[in-house]
Each structure stands twice: as structure tokens, then as C-alpha cells.
A and B are shown apart, each in its own frame.
Chain A
């Protein structure tokens, strides 16, 4: 079914509750529904198996309008269905929780509660997600009338939420990990309840590295924001910048020249190589296989120096400008890219062999953390973690954007769903990437590098979805016609993947936990929302506490 048919299908599904239908874009359908009908509408979408919930955005329409809006984005291929629910700003803005129907929603809903002041009724876990414990009550940072002076910390509340340090009783005790721990690359707090070596429960608290980027974006102009969003994450920085640029270009209705799109795809491919090699090293280090760590990071230097030759920097490439790219690929760069890719491809094949045949490494990865296809769908997994369980969630294939229409990639999946499958998927993905990148370099279309984008972007809303190395990246941009954006919401892929790790950690040994965390390739910088599922024998509704790094990456942007 093509996009138009999918959207028609969605419209028919919602006919009972839909107050108003809008088509802002050929790929998007907005359906305005009331808060009371939300659950019924969501149930209908879920039962018909129409797509998956990708993100929930909260908007503050301002004190004059007196209302706030919650946008529930469902994605199916290229089609995006958004349910728009408006509530009054003053009267607590009650919206029912849809977490029982779609478990991953609890993450997003907790963010809405915390940042904007919605009241999500029926949500089990009302703990702070990103904001620190000593943030004052009833102060909502993402509201348009928020003043920094309101955010004075309330004394005496820090660390209150954390339970007392491991109580040794019987055979179980709690092992705290973080906020400072050599295993954590970013701060986060995890608590594992262990019985000997077996993990019986996991809790986590995120929010230690929140930077307020989303709020900061509202006071910078469109061009400045490009560099702000690039720094959401160091290793997926190009993808963030690309998602932002694509959103702005959609709003401004400019067409990026094909040469720029191809160069963007090339840099994105190199970034994927960079990211996966880094991840391979980190995961090997967590397993205790330091040699693989050293060698894969040595080979990562090759890709970083390629990126330096093309874009001018090894990390945070800043290759994009609004309307195109800054860096040209001449014959010299093309030659260097191809030589680099040849070397990298042979090394990647070697690592693939190591990872699939080394007996001792397989002891740490085979059969561990298995997630079945159905569980992957239920948890709402994204990216290579989902593809390892056979669930094809790859935006480059389902909803191709930019140069992927011209230079497509194929999705790589495995069926086992265990840690080994995740390694295999990522390495095979790199081989596909290398092949595609060679094709791009050999067939770069001619043309200008960028097109002019006005300083004042016309009013409207845009959604851009991209495939970051870790999964689907979702950007929602809203403009009021000015030089600064009105609202930018980012939903990063690692957020959705955490749930699976926590769920799978229970019952395994403590020694497997670092590998499980590494297996989902958490990007702590990107993680803006981590849902912590408190688990202590009884299953709660999605408030997973995470183990290991839970990098809170960022709270509100």
C-alpha cells in the first residue's frame, strides 16, 4: 500500500472520533480528537496494526490561547498520522494515558507531565524522569512563559528518591552503579538487586546530564540552531543536523540540490561506520575482550581521518548548512574515500568473523538477552536492536529520504534476537553501507552544493524522520514565521530501546548486564528520555530502571 492509501486507511479508522482532518503534507494526516476519545482512537489504531507510536510531542500554545496540545505521532512506512489533543492550560490539562495499550508511551507521557504540566491520568509511575529531584513543583520548563528564576532548587530533596544503600538481608542485596562508575560513560544511576550473581531486579534514575537544548533552541535563530542540535550527540551528530536541516527545508519549501543530498548520504554512511566501530570496541571492552576494542578503535581512526578530509573535523562534522552542504567532494577526496573504504571493508569482514566464530566471545553473546519478534514489537524497539529480532524498522528502507531514493540501501536483519545477532546486524549493515557509499562516490550528481534558505522561515509544522546509527530519529519543528523556531521536539532512538534491556536483565547474571546494555548501543547523549521501569518482582507499567549508563543525555533540548 502506498502512502496515500495508508493515510486513507487511517482516516477511515478514526472516523468515529475525528473532529477535524488536516493534510499539512502529502505524507501526513493530522486528526484532531478530544482527550476523552484518545484511548478509543489509540486502541483502534493498535488493533488494526497501523504503524507504531513514534513520539509524543507536547506544545504550549501560550497563555493567551490558554491551551496546550499533545501530538501523538504514529508512523507506518512513509505515512505519519498525528492525533492532536488540546487541553486547557490552567485546568491541569488532563489527558488519559495510553501506556496500557502501547507500553513505550509511558516514557513520552512522563516527559509531557514533567516538562509541560500535562496530567496523565492512569500513569503508574509519576516520578521525575529528566528533571532533578530538587526541581520545584508546578514549574514547567517548556512552557512559553517559563522564567529561569522560577527554577530555584528546593533544598533537601536530592537523593530522597533513591532507596537506602544496599540492605543486606537474606541472600539479596542491591548493587548501585553510578552516577560515577568506570562502566558508565555518562552519569546515571542504576540499582541492581542481586541474589548471588543473578539479577533479580533493576531500577534506574536518569536525568543527570540534561542540558535544556530544546528550550535553548527557542532563543536562537534557525542557522544557529543547526549547530546546537548537532551537539546533541557526538557520534550521531550528522544525523541530528540532517534531521533538523530537512525539517527546516520542508518548512521553507526549498528543494535541496541532488549533489548536496548525495554528499549528505555519504557523510551519513561514514558516520554509521564510525559509530558502529566505536560501539564494537565498547561492547568488546564490556565483555573483557580488550584486544578487539583496541583494534577496532585503531581502525576507527581511518574513518575519522576520512571525515576530516571531507568535512574538516573528526567528530561533529558540521557538514550541513541549511539548504545543502558546505563541503565539496573533489577527485582527491573521492580517491581517499574509496581507499579508506576498501581497507575498512576488509577489517569489518575480519571482525564479523571474529564475532561469529570466537568461542569465548560467543560464550558471552550467544543466547543472551534474546528478544523475540513479538516482544520487539510490543516494546517498540527501533534500529539494529529491532532488526536483530527480525523486525524491520529502518527509515531508510521504509520511508526513504534525500539521496536514498537514488542510492538505496537494503535492510539487514537477523532472526535470533540475541546479543550475537545484534553484533552481526551492525557489522553486516556496515558492509552494505560501504557498498552504497562506493556507488555514491562514483556517481555523484553534478550541481550546486546548496540553495538559499530565507532567514525567516514561513509558519508551519514539519516532521523529519531519519535513520540514525541507533534507530529512528524523530524531529518535530514548528515555526511561527520568525527568525527563531517556536518549538523543536526531538525523540531519539535510544530512548525506546532501553525498555528491552531492563526487561532482559532480570534473571541473568550480573556479569551479563554490561553486555546487555552495550548490545542496544545506548547513546547517552541522545537519550533524552529514559523510562525507568521499576522492577522488583512485580511487573510495573513501564518504569524501568536502568542499569548501567543511563546517560541521561538530555533532558529538554
Chain B
């Protein structure tokens, strides 16, 4: 493909700008679903866009003790990590923008780049809340990385490849939610932890530590972090849908499957109380990792028999 069309697909559609817009739309869907489950009305469709515009229009206040390079650079790093990770997943049902063997691992690590940027951003300022939020965020990341990776490994093993586009093609014929249910559950909960959605939102517990690691951010920096988070949401959902729910090969299929997943996540969000950070780590290192490993083991043995 020539440079122009490559740049177009990276920057405008389906990744890049279009992805940011779709991300915000998904954020709206999530908020609306949670609101309806709580018997409220919820925001209107343009709320996340309005929030972003408002944030861009506001002054950015940087704390005196923060390193300016880090302070202004970290949001950009976070967003770029998320956007780059999106290049390897089948966004909106279209073929992946770029693909190479082993890109599953790269995607996962690029997604972690966002969490790590938030962690460093929290450490960077002198606010106590940010430091606690950053610590909790990084602790939670250690808890979720392993089970999440294991859960994504299952379909990879089944498809016999580390390349997301091949796994996606394989899933079109095999619905792995049926063959690897335990792995699906681990992946779903792992995704909620990664995205810091309730009940795993201890890193940004509003009633305890104001806004966690991002307390000192305002204006553009905060807007960019939020965009990164919504992109991460879409990428995570796409990964889950393409691995477990029979692949995504068209925009309609993509929409239906990801919104269905989002609905399930919204139900979890509204039913469960926030877990304390020690409880999340405890539960997931004990049960999550074990269940993930068990699933892989079962799969390996099953294949061995076949």
C-alpha cells in the first residue's frame, strides 16, 4: 500500500481520528447503560465530545514541582500507546491496518503503556492523592497483566498463531467463548481491571483520593488522557470480541458484539461494590492467575489428545 493510504488508515480511518471519535461514542454508551441500570436517564450522546471540547478550552495548570517535560509529554505518550496498539486489531470490522507475527504481545504491552504513563504522571507531582493513585494503579496493573495475557493466550494457542489477524480469521469459525468459557471470564474481568472500571476503580476512587493519579491534570492534558482511556476501551473490546465472540469481519458485527460485551460490563459495574486494592490483588493473583493457567492446561491436554 502506498504511503498516502497507509497514513490515511493510521491517522484518519479506521485508527487515529475516527478511533478517537468512536472511543468517545463507546464511552457514552457505557455511561448511558450504567445510568439506565441505575434507573436514571444518563447523559446525551454528545456528552463526551462536549467534555473534551470544554477541557481543550480550559487553561492547563501545571504544578510547580512537576517536571514540565514529563508533565506535558506523558499524556501524549499515553494516547500514542493506545492508538498504536489499535493498529493491530481489526477495528470496526475492517482488516487490520498493519500486521506481523507476534503482534498480540506488542498490542498488550502498548496498552500497558497507558497505565504506566498514568502511574508516572501520578508520581511526577507532589500531590499525595496522585501518588497514592499511581501506586494503586501500578499495583493493579501487576495484578491484571498476567491473568489477562493468559486469557488471551488461550485463543492464540487454539489458533496456532501470535498474530491477531490470523486469530481473528480462525475465530470466525470457532466461537471460543463456548470452548474456553473460563478463559472468557478471566479475560472479561481482566479487561475491566485494565480499564479501571468499577468495581476495580480503586486507583481513581473519587471518595478517597479525589481523582487518583490524574488529580493534578486539567485542560489539554486531561483531555488527552481521557481520549487515551476511551481508545483503550475500544481496543480492549475489539480484542475480546475478535478472540472469543467469533471474530469481527464487518462493521455491523463489530458493533453488535462489542456493545453486547459493553452491556455485560455495565451490568457488572452497577452490581458490584468497589474492591479495596488489597482485595483486588488478593483475589486476582489467587483466582485469576490460577484459572487462566488451568484453562491453558486444559486446552493443551485436549489438543494433545486430539
Chain A contacts to B: CB under 8 angstroms = 165-166, 173-176, 181-183, 194, 196-197, 284-291, 294-295, 298, 358, 360-361, 363-364, 509-514
Contacts and interface: CB of A to CB of B under 8 A. Distances in A.
A286 B208 CA distance: 8
B67 interface: no
A173 B128 contact: yes
Given A182-B207, A182-B210, A175 B274 contact: no
Contact of A291 (B206, B209, B270, B279): B270
B128 A288 contact: no
A482 B273 CA distance: 56
Given A173-B128, A295-B39, A514-B207, A288 B278 contact: no
A194 B136 CA distance: 14
B128 A511 contact: no
A294 B208 contact: no
A197 B275 CA distance: 14
* Residue from A166, A284, A286, A288 with most neighbouring chain B CB atoms (10 Å): A288
B38 A288 contact: no
A514 B208 CA distance: 7
Interface residues of B, number: 30
B210 A166 contact: no
A40 to B, nearest CB: 47
A420 B272 CA distance: 17
Given A166-B128, A291-B271, A512 B276 contact: yes
Interface stretch (B92-100, B197-205, B287-295): B197-205
A510 B212 CA distance: 13
B271 A286 contact: no
Contacts of B126: 165
A402 B202 CA distance: 48
B109 to A, nearest CB: 27
Contacts of B128: 166, 173-176
Contacts of B209: 175, 510
Given A175-B129, A288-B198, A294-B39, A511 B277 contact: yes
B149 interface: no
B203 to A, nearest CB: 11
Contacts of A286: 207
A360 B276 contact: no
Nearest to B128: A175
B277 A288 contact: no
A361 B276 contact: no
A362 B226 CA distance: 32
A466 B210 CA distance: 37
Given A290-B198, A509-B278, A511-B202, A360 B40 contact: no
A411 B275 CA distance: 33
A191 to B, nearest CB: 10
B132 interface: yes
B108 interface: no
11 contacts: A173-B131, A175-B128, A176-B128, A183-B208, A196-B135, A197-B278, A287-B274, A288-B198, A289-B272, A294-B38, A358-B273
B208 A513 contact: yes
Nearest to A196: B135
B277 A360 contact: no
A288 B132 contact: no
A360 B135 CA distance: 23
B199 A288 contact: yes
B276 A511 contact: yes
B37 interface: yes
Contacts of B199: 288, 360
B284 to A, nearest CB: 14
Nearest to B271: A291
A343 B210 CA distance: 36
Given A288-B275, A363-B279, 18 more contacts: A181-B210, A194-B132, A196-B135, A197-B132, A197-B277, A286-B207, A287-B274, A288-B201, A288-B207, A289-B273, A290-B38, A290-B270, A291-B271, A295-B38, A295-B39, A363-B275, A510-B132, A512-B276
B208 A510 contact: yes
A41 B231 CA distance: 71
Contacts of A175: 128-129, 132, 209
Q: Lowest 5 A-B CB distances belong to which pairs?
A: A288-B274, A289-B273, A294-B38, A360-B273, A175-B128
B289 to A, nearest CB: 20
Contact of A288 (B39, B40, B131, B205): B205
A182 B129 CA distance: 12
A295 to B, nearest CB: 7
B102 to A, nearest CB: 37
Given A166-B128, A287-B273, A294 B207 contact: no
B110 to A, nearest CB: 29
A187 to B, nearest CB: 15
A66 B129 CA distance: 52
Contacts of B206: 182-183
A166 B206 CA distance: 20
Given A175-B132, A510-B132, A363 B208 contact: no
Contacts of B278: 197, 509
A524 to B, nearest CB: 15
Given A511-B202, A511-B205, A514-B208, A361 B39 contact: no
A248 B278 CA distance: 54
Interface string B178-209: 00000000000000000000110110011111
B264 to A, nearest CB: 16
Interface in B242-279: 270-279
B70 to A, nearest CB: 18
Interface in B131-153: 131-132, 135
Contacts of B38: 290-291, 294-295
A183 B208 CA distance: 7
Contacts of A197: 132, 277-278
Contacts of A166: 128
A478 B123 CA distance: 57
A291 to B, nearest CB: 4
A182 B207 CA distance: 6
A178 B55 CA distance: 25
Nearest to A512: B276
Given A290-B38, A290-B270, A294-B40, A509 B276 contact: yes
Contacts of A364: 273-274, 276
A360 B38 CA distance: 18
A208 to B, nearest CB: 18
A363 B273 contact: yes
A510 B277 CA distance: 10
Contacts of B271: 291
A166 B275 CA distance: 26
A291 B37 contact: yes
Contacts of A196: 135
Interface in B46-83: none
A395 B237 CA distance: 57
A361 B273 contact: yes
A204 B270 CA distance: 34
A19 B93 CA distance: 92
B207 A183 contact: yes
A44 to B, nearest CB: 46
B41 to A, nearest CB: 12
B65 to A, nearest CB: 11
